[in-house]
Structure 1
Amino acid sequence: MDIKTASALRRLRLVSAPEAVSFLLLLVCSVLKRTTEFNAVPVMGAVHGVLFILYVIFWLDAWNRATWGFRTAALYFVLSVLPTGGFFADRKLRHEAEASVIAARARKEGIVNA
């Protein structure tokens, strides 16, 4: 992988944790709406919606650049729709991005012929 691939993975990683947090907050707001008079669902719904759309856009870019197989791409998408899946996606993406940067630097220095 090259630096552009690592950048795509980093963008996806940067939006995955906030998307997961917004999903959890939206669930909390939904419960509060039904049990109290506090209604922050419209606001949190909009925030979560924007973050989810960003996640999908960055997911498509990362899928294209990293040339993931269908199973890997599907895994990252499924993690986006699970309440805490974004945290797991963040960890997996961090490891994948670090490996791609190391490989790119090794190729640049002529250590690896790949």
Structure 2
Amino acid sequence: MSLKSKVKLFKWISILEGTSFLLLLFIAMPLKYLYNMPQMVQQVGMAHGILFIAYVLGGVILWKPMNWTLAQMGIILGCSVLPFGPFFVEKKYL
């Protein structure tokens, strides 16, 4: 797989991971705690968990080919736990 295709795949993973995190925080969690509807958290949470793991693995795989410093890698991985963080990474580092 070429570097270009790896970066493109990581961009998609980043966008999907960020979107799933926002859905979890701003839709699924309020439904669970305000309306006693935990089903959405189970479904969105599972998708987000899988995408989170894919995001971290993708970042680690691209670390050396993209020549990211340790500080940049820390920012990239740290953004995975911040709302809107993966969108920042997708725009600034990819």
Structure 1 residue ranges, 4+ long, deviating more than 4 angstroms after superposition: none
How many aligned positions are there?
92
SS of 2:36 mapped into structure 1 = coil
Say what the alpha-carbon RMSD is for the aligned residues: 1.6
SS of 1:65 mapped into structure 2 = coil
AA in 1 matched with 2:41: V
SS of 1:67 mapped into structure 2 = coil
Instruction: Specify every segment of 5 or more residues in structure 2 that has no aligned partner in the other structure, as ranges.
Output: none
Structure possessing the higher radius of gyration over alpha carbons: 1
Query: Normalising by structure 1, what TM-score?
Result: 0.72
| Displacement of 1:26 | 0.8
Query: Normalising by structure 2, what TM-score?
Result: 0.86
* Aligned mates of 1:29, 1:54 — CA distance in 2: 21
* Aligned mates of 2:67, 2:2 — CA distance in 1: 12
| Displacement of 1:67 | 2.6
Identity level (%): 33
**Other-structure match for 2:68:** 68
2:5 pairs with 1, 7, 21, which one?
Answer: 7
**Other-structure match for 1:35:** 34
Deviations 1:39-83 (A, max 9, x none): 211111100001001101111111022231101111111111101
AA in 2 matched with 1:24: L
